[in-house]
Amino acid sequence: MSLYTRLEQRLQTQSDDAGPIRGTYSTGRLLMIWLAANLVVTTLLTGTLFVPDVSYGLVLLLVIGGTIAGAAVLVAVGTIGRRTGLPTMALTRGPFGIRGSLLAVAANVIILMGWSWVQAMLAGIALDYVVMTFTGFSNPVIFAVLCQTIVVILAIFGHAGVARVEPWFAVVILAIAAYIFVTAFTTFSPAEFTSIAASAEPFYTPGLVFDVVLATAISWTVLSADINRLGRSNRASVVGAGVGYTLSTIISMTLGATAMAYVVLNGGDAVAFDPVTIIEPFGWIFGVAIFLSVMATNTMVVYGMVTTVVNAVPGTRMRFLPTALVLGVLSIVGATFFGLLDQFTTFLVTIGALFAPIFAIMIVDYYVIKRGSYDRDILNARGGRHWYQGGVNWLAVGSWVVGAVLAYVWAYVLPLPFGSTAPAFVITFVLYLLVSWPTRSRDGAGHVGNLAEEPVPAGRS
């Protein structure tokens, strides 16, 4: 028996192919997975964008507020995954229809691939700095490819691989983060951090800081049901994801803001979103933290891409392993396109514009319109409750288009002082609630349990 065959057989026993999963993970295990997930260089470097445009103390408050607001959305969507056993993009069949959901699926794969590339590049830069420090050899592209190759290997082992490595990464990264905080605050006092003068011509306002923090949570919500469906109870899903994501984001962004403030206090240039800028003052150990953070997070990103594709079309027999290999190769090749790093902020805003309206629609549809009930019709290839008109719910698609267009306009054409993500979410939430209210379920059905725990009726896929 070949290695490929043995690996595929093992993955099949872990239920990583298409269909619902019956969760078994505890609150603590989910918490550690989410804790490791956002202890990542992209979130850390996002924190470097805000200082010194906005005062250090206010940045910390905005990070906390934006993270809590975003975590509420993440947990709400993740809980639907726990209740049904389905990943996030498979759940979009509920409001958008069996065929309409393919729009969200395509957008998600593109966004996650971009995330994967950006993180691999940043890991390559960090690892290049560490290796160059000790050997003098430098080639960021080679190291980016190496980092992404390791990520793909980890992701191939499916959710079991994610659960096995994430907690260990979290422990090591937290230890290094503690070292950075101690170094920063034993060198300069908290009063010195809060007294840093604002930029003469700041780009970021307090409102925009909140918006970017919220958009970060939205970007993670695309994976919330993929991970939270692994929880053995709703409580494990809510507490594990809510606490884990909130802590990791606050720690990461605060670490980034602190590191940038430390650079400024040392008289350095505040070059935002540049790993080397914040690695140099603290030494190679910060580079190691960045490398490990990408290994933890990018494994989840690649895993999320694969689960999205294998669950895209109900009734198909797409297998996890070959899909992971194809997407893995694409992610490795793309990790060499370093020009994408210059467009990260635009990339983050695009995620908010595309997905904040989607999640608003999903939350309204499941919790209000369907009254907490997605039955096994969501697994159909055609027909049933989620077929709508030719497989598309045009009310949801129309609401999404309105929300996405408004998010784009408010971000680039007529910028709002408080950003576009929250307004787009609220407008889409209200709009879809109004247009779909006449279709609200009146049969009083409560939510159906995890679909993986129920027998499949004859003729159903």
pTM of the predicted protein model: 0.84
Ordered DSSP codes for 332-382: HHHTT-GGGGGGHHHHHHHHHHHHHHHHHHHHHIIIIIS-S---GGGG-SS
Residue 421 lies in a domain: no
The two structure tokens encoding residue 299 = 């494994």
**What would the pLDDT profile of 268-303 be if each residue is shown by its tens digit?**
887 777 788 888 888 888 788 778 777 777 877 888
pLDDT score of 447? 46
Total of domains in the chain: 1
Of residues 1 and 423, more confidence is placed in 423
pLDDT score of 313? 75
Residue 368 lies in a domain: no
Residue 382 lies in a domain: no
Least confident segment among 22-31, 242-251, 442-451: 442-451
Residue 122 lies in a domain: yes
Helix (H) / strand (E) element for 418: namely none
Residue 8 lies in a domain: no
pLDDT score of 186? 94
Residue 330 lies in a domain: yes
pLDDT at position 12 over 60: no
Residue type, 31: L
pLDDT score of 15? 45
Q: At what angle do helices 158-187 and 234-265 cross, to 10 degrees?
A: 40
- What range does the domain containing 79 cover? 24-342
CA pseudo-torsion sign 284, 287, 293, 295: negative
Query: Which residue matches tokens 């794969």?
Result: 109
pLDDT at position 111 over 70: yes
Query: Which residues lie across from 234 on neighbouring strands?
Result: none
Residue 394 lies in a domain: no
The two structure tokens encoding residue 274 = 């540049």
Residue 74 lies in a domain: yes
106: domain CATH number is 1.10.4160.10
